[in-house]
Amino acid sequence: MSSYIGGTTPGRRRQVTRTDAEERALDKISREAESRMKVKRETRELARQHRSSLWEKKVEEDAEAYRHNAASTSNGHSHESSSGETNHCNSSSDAKNDPHDQLLELDDKFQRTLILYSQLDNEKSALLYEMDLLKDDLEEKDVLLSKANRENRDLTSDVKLLKRNIEAMQITVNNLKSEIAARDQLIQENGLVLVEQEPEQNSQGSKTSSDSSLNSRPPGPLLFAAETIRLLNRVVPGNSSLDQKVRNLIDTNKQMRKDYEEMGQTLHAQRQARNSAAAAQMVGSQGSGIGAQAGVDDVNKDAARQLGEMKQRMQELERDLNNQQGNTIRIESQMKRYKQSADQFEKENDELKAQLRQIKKEMRDKENALDEAKETNKHLQGRLEKMRNQRTARPV
């Protein structure tokens, strides 16, 4: 009986995947049940000892009474035989010895019967006590089995829900992949080019960005038209990056504007100087006549010729400057637009990847918990079936 109790104790304390609150509650319930069972065992043991002492006392009293009756009966027979006739002495002594032996034999049988009955009663009490223990343990195992089945159902539903979420996320990922493939095909059909940004560009952009852009994601690849890149390479040759070429183009534009203004100021100063010189020559040589007039005409022709050349050069510079400004504005607008679209696609892709990793992790945890619950359920069912077989096989 003690070995059976020791064998059932690990079953009550088997580790099952639960929360801390459930484990504490189950430990408390287990301790209370063990304390009640211990008190019940002690009470039944005391009752069994008390019944045993009562049966022993009763057996001794009955044996003493039978001995007293046997002694009184033997004394009565001896007195009657002494007062009778001498010819009946042998027959009376035989009659006296035979009932005495029978009485002793019956007394011995009765004592053995009482002892056997006491043993059977003790065995019956022990079997009833063991049956009560088995019932209590069976109830506990039924409770644990129901909890394990409920947890198994919950985990199964969670796993099914996670599988549906993974399938939905996989469909979304496939849709995004098809959209990215369509975007790449559209880029190729329109003759556009994706250009990866260098770390230097990212660092420079982070230095010039505002406080609101500090928490923004790093920029992705930029999208340019092939014609734009060709024009930019023709205007600014070299092996530098596109960002550096655009910056050089802007610096060249500023420098050309500055040169244009300086040339205008120089031309204006030269024109004033020539006009003043021509006026002085005309005032100093009023009597020279035709020679002075010819010199003034030559000066005016040279000035007009130089002025026309300067105007033509300035017009060419302005035209080149306007073309460069238009190309710069167009490139910047394309950079902003394609940068926003690329950032949006990368952000959605990263979010989907993070969600997919989280769902896969949760699914692995749920599958592990489900496997543990199945193992626990299988173990509890095996022990429950074993206990039921022992209960049906043991005679009550």
Query: What are 177-207's pLDDT values in tens digits?
Result: 888 888 788 777 776 666 665 554 444 444 4
Domain boundaries defined on the chain: 2-152, 190-370
**pLDDT (tens digit, 9 = 90+) per residue, 325-383?**
888 788 778 778 877 887 888 888 888 888 888 888 888 888 888 888 888 888 888 88
As a whole number of angstroms, the distance between CA 138 and CA 317 comes to 101
Q: Can you read off the two tokens belonging to residue 381?
A: 């069912």
**pLDDT (tens digit, 9 = 90+) per residue, 46-90?**
777 777 777 777 777 777 777 777 666 655 555 444 544 444 444
Q: Can you read off the two tokens belonging to residue 230?
A: 């060709």
Please report, to the nearest 10 degrees, the dihedral formed by the alpha carbons of residues 181, 185, 186, 189 taken in order. 180
Q: Can you read off the two tokens belonging to residue 387?
A: 């206990």
As a whole number of angstroms, the distance between CA 181 and CA 188 comes to 11
pTM for this prediction: 0.36
As a whole number of angstroms, the distance between CA 182 and CA 175 comes to 10
Element (H, E) at 192: strand 192-195
